[in-house]
Amino acid sequence: MTIISFIAFTALVAIIAYFASRKTNEKSADGYFLGGRSLTAGVIAGSLLLTNLSTEQIVGLNGSAYESGLSVMAWESLAAIAMVVTAMFLLPRYLKGGLTTVPQFLANRFDTTTKTITSALFLTGYVVVLLPVILYSGSVAISGMFDIPAAFGVSNAQAIYLCVWGIGLIGSIYAVFGGLKAVAVSDTINAIGLLIGGLLIPVLGLIAIGDGSLMNGLSVLAAEHPEKLKSMGERTDPVPFYTIFTGMMLVQLFYWGTNQQIIQRALGAKNLEEGQKGLLLGSFIKILGPIIVVLPGIIAYHMFPNLSAVDQAYPQLVSAVLPPALLGFFAAVIFGAILSSFNSVLNSSVTLFGIDIYKQHINPEADEATVVNKGKMFGVVLAIGAMVIAPFIANAGSLFDYLQEINGIYSIPILTIIVVGYLTKRVPAIAAKIGLLSGSLLYILSQFFLKPHFVSDALAAAKAEGITDPNTLSIIESQGYFGLHYLDVMAILFVLNVLIMLLIGKFYPRKEAYTIEYTKQVDIQPWAYTKPIGALIVLLVAAIYIYFR
């Protein structure tokens, strides 16, 4: 029954996606990369959510919640505010300029070299970090739900290899040969299934620990694990509360406002109104995110308090509370979520390579069909590389924390030059290049050279003083050096990079002030209710924090 329901739902999604996208002209750049600029609010919201809400979120954040409690919800709740800012500030400018990729703006605002460096940073981050993490976390979930090692008589490591290559091959077919329209349609269907199944897991989990009563389950968690239900994290938690006001919002703004894999959905909007409605609908649903990606981890902590690896919390809970028929359906939804994130990143990578690298530097005379085909070939190579790297992430610790820290290498430098680019008119191209390179190099120096040295010295000093308590040593390690969280480092580097760019702009300004030209690709009349709905969403997020303080 589990296998039948899994195959049935997966096949249904594939068939609907095929029929919905078969008339889109995939040989044109707009048709393949942006779905013909025809996406509506519901499709944009569904695709945004499912592109984001994959197993690196579901498995990784629930694993962090298993370990640290409700404070990790900042990754979800603050996303809603970032989506509001994107809808109000960034998207109108993107659509006015008729952008296909975010780096295209950088070419117009600064120069082609800046665009190329940014595209290369995106692509490096995608193949080395994001795609492998998606594949690995998805493989952990699928292997755990279906008990692949027992089913095929293989080891856990071999099961991960099987799942990585299975997911990777199917995701590649979707992304490389289907284009954005097929990706977005399948995302929307899977998003509905994910919301239903994702909400069902904590409900059934609470009923299980409450002896048949949902409210009793909540009472049990509140009575036995009150420390897990605090929204404001301590300094030793993965997300200390104060970091919301340092690097957390910067990371969120980068992800939802400038990251190609995400913003590409909104760039495909039929007009600004649909794009804004899609982003705000997505942000409203995002407020419910902690129910799906945080609460199950806390429930799993109550049910399985001695797991050897925190990222096993969610698969264990799903296997424990779902009956076989529903397990197959939910595994299909999770499989769809994995494919969604994988093929969305892959589709964005194909777009970046085709538009920003192949067309710009390799073959400027290439027609649109050639650009699309070369992009597809690059996508195949990228997918294979990610599948090779993915199994080596097994010892990375908490997947979500690992992903966010590594992403800092390119996220903050890119956000910096985009913000400065839009908010100033005369900062020159050389300032953007220096901002990109200095931001990346300083972050690498800080987190991967200086931090390990300082942490090692601090641990050695503590042990020399006779401190052997594991919790105390863990606290010392989590504080990094000078007590700086990696989100603090991101904030410091952001401010430093902005100052460097502004100083260069003051002494070596560009000759002509930059202005955005309206390309008339789509109508840019804003939605009338963007500001009041955005304000309501911000107030709801604040209310949740106050209630669970």
465 pLDDT more than 60: yes
* Separation of alpha carbons 140 and 134, rounded Å: 10
Report, as an integer, the average pLDDT of 337-357: 77
Q: Check residue 451 and give its pLDDT.
A: 78
* Separation of alpha carbons 285 and 277, rounded Å: 12
* Residue 66 C-alpha from the chain's centroid: 20
Residues in contact with 420: Cβ distance below 8 Å, sequence separation at least 6, in sequence order: 427, 431, 432, 435, 498, 501, 502
419 three-state secondary structure: helix
* Separation of alpha carbons 487 and 240, rounded Å: 10
Residue 482 host element (H or E): none
Q: Check residue 419 and give its pLDDT.
A: 93
* pLDDT per position as a tens digit, 5-25: 556 655 655 565 555 555 554
Q: Check residue 29 and give its pLDDT.
A: 47
Residues in contact with 174: Cβ distance below 8 Å, sequence separation at least 6, in sequence order: 17, 182, 183, 186, 339, 343
* Separation of alpha carbons 237 and 489, rounded Å: 16
Q: Check residue 420 and give its pLDDT.
A: 95
Q: Check residue 517 and give its pLDDT.
A: 86
Residue that has been written with the tokens 């777009």 in this structure: 351
323 pLDDT more than 90: no
Residue 498 host element (H or E): helix 486-507
325 pLDDT more than 80: no
The full set of domain ranges for the chain reads: 2-547
Cα–Cα nearest to 32, from 170, 176, 180: 180
Phi and psi at residue 241, to the nearest 5°: -55, -40
* Separation of alpha carbons 442 and 456, rounded Å: 20
Residue that has been written with the tokens 């480092």 in this structure: 489
Report, as an integer, the average pLDDT of 144-159: 82
* Separation of alpha carbons 227 and 68, rounded Å: 9
Superfamily of domain 2-547 in CATH is Sodium/glucose cotransporter (1.20.1730.10)
Q: Check residue 12 and give its pLDDT.
A: 59
540 pLDDT more than 50: yes
* Residue 216 C-alpha from the chain's centroid: 34
401 pLDDT more than 60: yes
* pLDDT per position as a tens digit, 303-321: 998 887 787 888 889 888 9
Q: Check residue 400 and give its pLDDT.
A: 61
Provide the pLDDT confidence category of residue 32 given band limits of 50, 70 and 90: very low
* pLDDT per position as a tens digit, 217-251: 999 999 999 888 888 877 777 788 888 888 899 99
Dihedral Cα 50, 52, 55, 58, nearest 10 deg:
-100
CB-count burial class (<10 Å; 0-12, 13-18, 19+) for 539? exposed
480 pLDDT more than 80: no
CB-count burial class (<10 Å; 0-12, 13-18, 19+) for 134? buried
Q: Check residue 31 and give its pLDDT.
A: 46
Q: Check residue 26 and give its pLDDT.
A: 47
* Separation of alpha carbons 297 and 465, rounded Å: 36
Q: Check residue 18 and give its pLDDT.
A: 55
Q: Do 404 and 251 contact (CB within 8 A), yes or no?
A: yes
Sign of the torsion angle spanned by Cα atoms 272, 275, 280, 281 = positive
Q: Check residue 196 and give its pLDDT.
A: 82
Report, as an integer, the average pLDDT of 426-437: 93
* Separation of alpha carbons 310 and 197, rounded Å: 21
Residue 308 host element (H or E): none
